């Protein structure tokens, strides 16, 4: 079309010269059989409405005083350049007048501009689809309209709907002159999506040795309506169809059918909107490995390489698995030959498997290795950190200039950045966008580029809510990228100094009379900025009374107060691997109860809790919010001094002078005769907890999470018994409702809050009973699938199976006596708020009427 217009413009050029080439008022005629050079006396523009004359003349290159031949290829080139702008429906370069005496010619450029679009609209599409289409089309108001724009836009719209399964989509382009804006039009894309096309049946003809289920699973996007594809989309995706056919052949190759091919694939409608696909396949014969030899290898011998390759003589000739063990791409835990070399600097390593000989059904393979020289890290470039200091990122990564390249260190660096919390974990994982490897084989070096995307990490909480017949107001702020180093820098207070990945949080919650809570915490992930040793400090105070505004009851004689302080140090270990962290914490708490007969073993008294916690954890997950792979394990032991083992006096038995009686051994003390204040002034216990979770990526972003938990609160002295505080409360959503300390809240969906926690009798409590959860276990399996994975928000849905229970004594513990539940849920992570969620669970083991259908609301990460 463009060539025809150029030819037409050239003919018009010759024609117009005859009509316009004469000097005004004379009979001078240009002889087109004899091209002649002229001096450009001036150039005018005619017919332009949107573009200025200077813009058009700049494209032509014509200038006053320059020399030009008429006619010539130069004139044709000017016309071509104007056409290439795609702004015009017609272009002509004509001679307006000639001055023979000086061989001067005056030119005029006549154009007809294409109409400009004042508005692009759609019909037959949903509002969400319209937004996505506008992003794909990149159409702007004021842009020109042409056949090219109409055709390319139509193709993009059709491709968009075909990806959604609307194979018979039709698009009409309608134009209408704008009555308000001069020389402008309105363009409407009228879309008829038609019926969505889904696959009803897929058949595989000619395959006998491979189970049909494996062939079905091999195709990721092409699925029919059989039961095993219940959770998969059945729409026909034209763009992925060829990829799935290749995956189908790969599955046959895995079974040793080296020569397998699709002879014919037939696609036809069996009913409106429903396709059947028939694959006619030629399996060929099955092959087996015979001899595997290595050439070119000097760093590692054939014996060590074969240990990683794991292929023996007589094994099925599985090319797909062989390539995974050579080049990677298999399971995360599997090592491959390429990674073996690259972990030791051999970035330029190459291996080529060659079929050396084929006899019958046996194949000899030679692995031709080019090891190259070790590559040294040259430049480590970090881009995109507009807020976070670069040194904060560099201290997290394991790649340093001058080090040998290591694939494991590089992948670990990507994981560390994704887990920091300051950057989008999805974008950093994407090759090309999130990171780049730039090798230089001439000098055996490599540059690594990390492209981070900052995301909002601080959270502001300002809320009020009605619950329990009372109003509760909450004010809180958490700065997850705080910087004490810039504290005295005035320019850094916007609103607070940020950039060093420290955490500073303050939270206040109250309803005036019933409840008040104040807490503050600070954490530094790299103490002194040189080693991965974390410092954590926290301070808190909470008070609850038995006052109820709703019932106009003001009762300050019944209350509980808790205040305390904790300081901890964590250190990343190098052995057994870099994922291990050893954490030490020293904490102090004071519990003050006054006629508080609602939760604990006694009503009135003051108890002090001085404890030391040792925790060993290992976290290898790929990110925090939506991990797809890796594991997270922790084991902790919390201890208090064994006060009762050191006592030599019995406060419950007084001598004649009114003083405690001396005893020969701590075993002789009768604690039943003591008051609660004497017995529990200093509480003692040893607390053991284990928590573990494993994340497995199934298909795409579908993730299976399996989790197990166990906790035990023990005592040093059976005569003194269990501690009145630090036990477990099991059941419900895992939230305490208020920040009451003294118990660890364990969620178990499908049951009411704390409903699985046993109670015991107590003479120190006026109600006669108290929560006595001293042992618990919990098991969870979740199937997760993301809806949105963006820096602004992360949303994922889940299905869960859960079971667990709680006991008052370790002697009653039975891991098979669990309360079971199942349900569904959704999680929403917003950087300014945190993680929110709602679950519906059904408790199958109705415990005293507390099971059955339950809704649970979740705030924060539940473990």
| For residue 14, pLDDT beyond 50 | no
- Rounded to an integer, what distance in angstroms lies between the CA atom of residue 678 and that of residue 79? 103
Of the candidates 50, 57, 188, 189, the one whose C-alpha atom is nearest the C-alpha of residue 116 is 50
End-to-end CA distance of the chain: 65
Single pTM value for the model = 0.69
Residue 692, token pair as written in the block: 């573990």
Count Cβ atoms below 10 Å from residue 457 Cβ, excluding itself: 21
pLDDT at 545: 83
Q: Is 186 left (phi over 0), alpha (psi -120 to 50) or beta?
A: beta
Contacts of 7 (CB under 8 A, 6+ apart): none
What CA–CA distance (Å, rounded) separates 417 from 858? 27
* pLDDT score of 1: 43
Q: What is the pLDDT of residue 90?
A: 84
The mean per-residue pLDDT over the stretch 166-181 comes to 88
Output the CA angle 458-464-465, nearest 5 degrees.
120
Question: Which 8-state DSSP code applies to residue 152?
Answer: H
**Sign of the dihedral through C-alpha 246, 251, 252, 254:** positive
Residue 369's SS3 state is: strand
Strand 834-843 relative to strand 104-113, pairing = unpaired
Band of the pLDDT at 316, cuts 50, 70, 90? Answer: very high
pLDDT tens readout for residues 631-678? 999 999 999 999 999 888 877 677 667 778 888 888 888 888 888 888
Number of residues that this document lists for the chain: 863
Task: State the Cα–Cα distance between residues 786 and 863, nearest whole angstrom.
Answer: 19
Write the DSSP symbol of residue 860: S
Helix axes 73-84, 2-20, angle to 10 degrees: 130
Tens-digit pLDDT profile for residues 266-303: 999 999 889 999 999 999 999 999 999 999 999 999 99
The secondary element (H helix, E strand) that includes residue 679 is helix 676-679
* H or E stretch covering 708: strand 703-714
CB 412 within 8 A of CB 578: yes
Q: What is the DSSP letter of 811?
A: G
- Residue from 764, 769, 766 nearest 675 by CA: 764
**Strand, helix or coil for residue 527:** helix
Q: Is the pLDDT of residue 149 over 50?
A: yes
pLDDT at 331 over 70: no
User: Tens digit of pLDDT for each residue in 483-539?
Assistant: 999 889 888 888 889 999 999 999 998 877 778 889 999 999 998 877 889 999 999
Q: What is the 3-state secondary structure (H, E, C) of 611-648?
A: EEEEEEEEECCCCCCCCCCEEEEEEEEEECCCHHHHCC
Residue pointed to by tokens 């009555």? 179
User: Rounded CA gap, 826 and 795, in Å?
Assistant: 7
Q: What is the pLDDT of residues 332-386, one digit of tens each?
A: 557 899 999 999 999 999 999 999 999 999 999 999 999 999 999 999 999 999 9
Task: State how far the Cα of 142 lies from the Cα of 186, in Å rounded to an integer.
Answer: 10
Count of other CB atoms within 10 angstroms of residue 352: 11
User: Does pLDDT of 157 surpass 90?
Assistant: yes
pLDDT at 15: 41
Q: How far is CA 739 from the centre of its chain?
A: 30
> What pairs with residue 186 in β-bridges?
119, 176
Cα torsion for 406, 409, 410, 415, to the nearest 10°? Answer: 160
Whether 24 shows a pLDDT value over 80: the answer reads no
Average pLDDT over every residue of 556-583: 91
Cβ(840)–Cβ(799) under 8 Å?
A: no
Residues 6+ apart with CB under 8 A from 507: 461, 474, 475, 476, 477, 478, 517, 518, 519, 520
The enclosing H or E element of 396 equals helix 390-396
Which pLDDT belongs to residue 651?
A: 75
Assign 811 a pLDDT band (cuts: 50, 70, 90): very high
The per-residue pLDDT of the chain, averaged, comes to 86
Return the residue matching tokens 């008429």: 70
Chain segment 75-133, per-residue pLDDT in tens: 888 888 887 777 787 888 888 888 877 888 888 888 887 778 888 899 999 888 888 89
Buried b (16+ CB within 10 A) or exposed e, 192-222: ebeebbbbbebebeebeebeeeebbbbbebb
Contact 786, 623 (CB under 8 A): no
The answer to whether the CB of 187 falls within 8 A of the CB of 174 is: yes
pLDDT tens readout for residues 402-436: 999 999 999 999 999 998 888 988 889 888 889 99
To which H or E segment does residue 520 belong? strand 515-524
Residue closest to 591 by CA, chosen among 619, 551, 564: 564
Q: What is the pLDDT of residue 574?
A: 87
Is residue 29 pLDDT above 90, yes or no? no
Given a contact cutoff of 8 angstroms between Cβ atoms, the answer to whether 742 and 564 are in contact is no
Which residue has 């009913």 as its token pair?
271
Place 3 in a pLDDT band, splitting at 50, 70 and 90: very low
* Three-state helix/strand/coil letters over 550-606: CCCECCCCCEEEEEEEEEEEEEECCCCCCCEEEEEEEEEEEEEEECCCCCCCCCCEE
Q: Please give, one letter per residue, the 3-state secondary structure of 38-100.
A: EEEEEEEEECCCCCCHHHHHHHHCCCCCCEEEECCHHHHHHHHHHHHCCCEEEEEEEEEEEEH
Q: What is the dihedral of CA 17, 23, 28, 34, to 10 degrees?
A: -40
The total of other beta-carbon atoms located within 10 Å of residue 689's CB is 19
Measured between alpha carbons, how far is 831 from 470 in angstroms, rounded to an integer?
Answer: 29
């Amino acid at each position: 079309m463009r060539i025809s217009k150029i030819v037409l413009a050239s003919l018009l050029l010759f024609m117009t010269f005859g009509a316009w080439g004469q000097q005004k008022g004379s009979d001078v005629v240009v002889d087109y059989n004899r091209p002649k050079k002229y001096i450009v006396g001036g150039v005018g523009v005619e017919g332009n409405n949107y573009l200025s004359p200077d813009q058009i003349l700049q494209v032509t290159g014509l200038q006053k005083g320059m020399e030009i031949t008429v006619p010539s290829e130069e004139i044709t080139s000017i016309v071509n350049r104007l056409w290439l702008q795609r702004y015009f429906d017609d272009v002509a370069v004509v001679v307006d007048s000639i001055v023979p005496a000086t061989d001067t010619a005056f030119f005029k450029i006549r154009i007809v501009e294409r109409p400009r679009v004042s508005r692009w609209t759609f019909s037959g599409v949903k509002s969400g689809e319209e937004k996505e289409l506008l992003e794909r089309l990149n159409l702007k108001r004021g842009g020109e309209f042409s056949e090219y724009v109409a055709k390319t836009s139509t193709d993009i719209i059709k491709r968009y709907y075909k990806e959604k399964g609307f194979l018979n989509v039709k698009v009409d382009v309608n134009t209408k002159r704008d009555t308000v804006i001069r020389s402008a039009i309105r363009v409407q894309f009228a879309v008829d999506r038609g019926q969505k096309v889904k696959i009803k049946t897929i058949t595989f003809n000619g395959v006998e040795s491979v189970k049909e289920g494996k062939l079905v699973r091999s195709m990721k996007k092409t699925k029919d309506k059989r039961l095993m594809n219940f959770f998969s989309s059945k729409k026909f995706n034209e763009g992925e169809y060829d990829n799935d056919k290749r995956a189908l052949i790969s599955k046959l190759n895995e079974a040793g059918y080296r020569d397998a091919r699709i002879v014919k694939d037939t696609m036809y409608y069996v009913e409106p909107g429903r396709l059947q696909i028939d694959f006619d396949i030629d399996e060929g014969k099955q092959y087996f490995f015979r001899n595997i030899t290595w050439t070119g290898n000097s760093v590692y011998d054939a014996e060590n390489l074969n240990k990683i390759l794991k292929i023996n003589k007589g094994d099925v000739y599985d090319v797909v698995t062989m390539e995974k063990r050579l080049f990677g791409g298999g399971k995360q835990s599997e090592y491959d030959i390429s990674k073996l070399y690259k972990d030791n600097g051999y970035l330029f390593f190459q291996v080529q498997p060659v079929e050396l000989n084929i006899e019958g059904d046996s194949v000899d393979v030679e692995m031709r290795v080019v090891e190259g020289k070790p590559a040294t890290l040259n430049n480590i470039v970090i881009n995109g950190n507009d807020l976070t200091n670069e040194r904060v990122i560099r201290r997290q990564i394991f790649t340093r200039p001058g080090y040998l390249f290591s694939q494991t260190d590089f992948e670990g660096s990507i994981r560390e950045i994704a887990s920091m919390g300051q950057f989008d974990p999805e974008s950093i994982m994407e090759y090309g966008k999130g990171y780049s490897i730039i090798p230089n084989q001439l000098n055996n070096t490599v540059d690594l580029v990390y492209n981070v995307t900052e995301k909002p990490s601080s959270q502001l909480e300002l809320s009020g809510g009605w619950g329990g017949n009372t109003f509760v107001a909450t004010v809180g702020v958490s700065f997850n990228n705080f910087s004490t180093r810039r504290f005295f820098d005035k320019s850094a207070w916007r609103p607070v100094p940020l950039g060093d990945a420290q955490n500073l949080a303050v939270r206040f919650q109250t309803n005036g009379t019933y409840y008040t809570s104040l807490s503050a915490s600070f954490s530094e992930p790299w103490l002194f900025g040189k080693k991965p040793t974390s410092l954590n400090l926290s301070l808190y105070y909470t008070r609850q009374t038995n006052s109820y505004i709703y019932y106009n009851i003001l009762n300050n004689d019944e209350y509980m107060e808790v205040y305390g302080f904790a300081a901890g140090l964590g250190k990343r270990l190098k052995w057994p691997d870099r994922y291990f962290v050893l954490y030490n914490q020293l904490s102090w708490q004071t519990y003050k109860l006054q006629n508080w007969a609602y939760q604990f073993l006694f009503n009135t008294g003051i108890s002090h809790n001085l404890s030391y916690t040792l925790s060993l954890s290992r976290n290898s997950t790929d990110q925090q919010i939506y991990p797809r792979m890796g594991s997270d394990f922790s084991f902790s032991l919390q201890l208090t001094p064994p006060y009762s083992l050191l006592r030599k006096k019995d406060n419950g038995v007084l001598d004649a002078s009114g003083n405690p009686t001396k005893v020969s051994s701590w075993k002789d003390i009768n604690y039943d005769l003591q008051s609660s204040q004497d017995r529990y002034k200093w509480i003692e216990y040893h607390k053991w907890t284990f928590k573990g979770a494993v994340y497995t990526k199934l298909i795409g972003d579908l993730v299976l999470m399996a989790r197990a938990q166990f906790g035990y609160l023990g005592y040093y002295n059976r005569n003194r018994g269990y501690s009145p505080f630090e036990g477990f409360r099991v059941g419900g959503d895992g939230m305490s409702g208020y920040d009451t300390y003294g118990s660890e809240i364990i969620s178990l969906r499908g049951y009411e809050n704390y409903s699985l926690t046993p109670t015991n009798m107590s003479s120190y409590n006026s109600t006669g009973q108290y929560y006595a959860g001293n042992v618990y276990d919990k098991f969870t399996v979740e199937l997760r699938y993301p809806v949105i994975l963006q820096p602004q928000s992360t949303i994922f849905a889940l299905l869960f199976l859960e079971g667990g229970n709680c006991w008052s004594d370790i002697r009653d513990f039975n891991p098979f006596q669990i309360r079971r539940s199942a349900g569904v849920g959704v999680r929403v992570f917003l950087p300014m708020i945190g993680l929110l969620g709602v679950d519906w669970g059904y408790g199958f083991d109705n415990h005293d009427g507390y099971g059955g259908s339950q809704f649970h609301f979740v705030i924060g990460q539940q473990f």
